[in-house]
Amino acid sequence: MKHLLSTHDLSKENALNILDTARMLSDVSDRTIRKLPTLRGRTVVNLFYEDSTRTRISFEAAAKRLSADVINFSAKGSSVSKGESLKDTALTLKAMGADAIVMRHHASGAAHILANSGWIDATVVNAGDGLHEHPTQALLDAYTIRHHLRANEGDLSGVRVAIVGDILHSRVARSNIWLLNTLGAHVTVVAPPTLLPVAVNSLPVEVSYDLDSVLGKVDAVMMLRIQHERMHDAYFPSIREYASRYGLDKGRVQLLPQGSIVMHPGPMNRGIEISAEVADGENSVIVEQVSNGVNVRMAVLYLLLGGAIEGEEKQ
């Protein structure tokens, strides 16, 4: 594995390897000294063209726990706001000796372009590209599901997962659908028809417009954020109507089978897609998702950068 660009092309073997490695690394996060020398001398650049709190911090924490040098680059306040192209930014980072570039970009496919352009020879990790994919989020969600429902062993066959909300604009949903499918889980997407992609029938999912009828039959429910910044059209009549039909509140949580978990990739709109009681309730694993995120990203960085990089192998 040289890059991590999407979960669509991630094999089951590689996905499970990442999850197993993350489990081993989770011990490190519980120790007093949370530091390993493994990536000493490697440079990881966080290249963020879009705002992000938890993904960037999570990648930064992961890289630092493995002793990599981290350079944070956010498009605001950089030469990008003066009109620098992705290519020129990439060449600059190459000249500075970046071994890995963790990129979030508003354009779908940006990570593929960076990885396959020949501009750089660094490893590329997609940290979210437009409406396309966000693979490490899907991996940490799969890790969280596997931890709670399968005791960290094997794949997710037989696990039933509902993804609820704005599927249309959600790269998190897309990455999760592909990865959960690869791992053998059964996925139901629940949303108003306006918030489903046109080609939803080509995805390996069941579709429902009725949240209440789905909740009784799932082991994990993943609530997606209503992305106000992307709601330029009339996707639903009002926020209040959306919340009453598709929001997860105290009453709806009662419908879940015993032991089911409630997930949210964050940031949450409390009171819209998820109520405050549910977000802080006993089924909620939302905070845990964040700490699992660091372990999963450590695993990804270790597997991409920890061994010999092409051209470095010697006997």
Partner 1 sequence: MAPNQGARQTSDAGVLLSAEDLSRVISRIAHEIVEKTSGFDSVVLMGIHKRGYPLAKRIADRINQIDNQKVSVGALDITLHRDDLRMRPPRPLEQTDLPVAGIDGSLVVLVDDVLYSGRTIRAGLDALSELGRPAAVQLAVLIDRGHRELPIRADYVGKNVPTSTGQSVKVRLIETDGVDEVVLSVAGKA
- Residues near partner 1 (CB under 8 A) are 17, 20-21, 24-25, 27, 31, 33, 35-38, 66, 302-303, 306-309, 312-315
30 or 229: CB nearest partner 1: 30
β-pair type (100-105, 123-129): parallel
Nearest to 55 by CA among 294, 256, 309: 294
71 or 303: CB nearest partner 1: 303
39 or 195: CB nearest partner 1: 39
31 or 82: CB nearest partner 1: 31
β-pair type (160-164, 186-190): parallel
Can you tell me which residue has the tokens 């695993």?
299
37 or 77: CB nearest partner 1: 37
65 or 148: CB nearest partner 1: 65
Q: How far is the CB of 53 from partner 1 (least distance, A)?
A: 28
Are 106 and 126 within 8 A, CB to CB? Answer: no
43 or 188: CB nearest partner 1: 43
Nearest to 107 by CA among 131, 86, 133: 131
Q: How far is the CB of 181 from partner 1 (least distance, A)?
A: 25
Q: How far is the CB of 205 from partner 1 (least distance, A)?
A: 32
Q: How far is the CB of 289 from partner 1 (least distance, A)?
A: 22
Q: How far is the CB of 38 from partner 1 (least distance, A)?
A: 4
Which structure tokens are listed for 255? 């419908």
* Cross-strand partners of 45: 71, 101
Q: How far is the CB of 101 from partner 1 (least distance, A)?
A: 19
Q: How far is the CB of 206 from partner 1 (least distance, A)?
A: 35
Q: What is the DSSP string of 49-79?
A: SS--SHHHHHHHHHHHHTT-EEEEEESTTSG
CA atoms within 13 Å, Cβ hemisphere of 172: 20
Phi (first) and psi of residue 81, to 5 degrees:
-70, -10
Q: What is the DSSP string of 196-219?
A: S-TTGGGSSSEEES-HHHHHTT-S
Phi (first) and psi of residue 56, to 5 degrees:
-65, -45
Which residues, including other chains, have CB under 8 Å from residue 164's CB and lie 6 or more apart?
A: 189, 190, 191, 211, 221, 222, 223, 224, 246, 248, 273
Which structure tokens are listed for 124? 């590329």
25 or 191: CB nearest partner 1: 25
Q: How far is the CB of 303 from partner 1 (least distance, A)?
A: 5
82 or 314: CB nearest partner 1: 314
- Indicate the helix (H) or strand (E) that contains 276: helix 276-279
Q: How far is the CB of 312 from partner 1 (least distance, A)?
A: 6
**Pairwise CA distance, residues 60 & 266, whole Å:** 18
**Pairwise CA distance, residues 49 & 110, whole Å:** 10
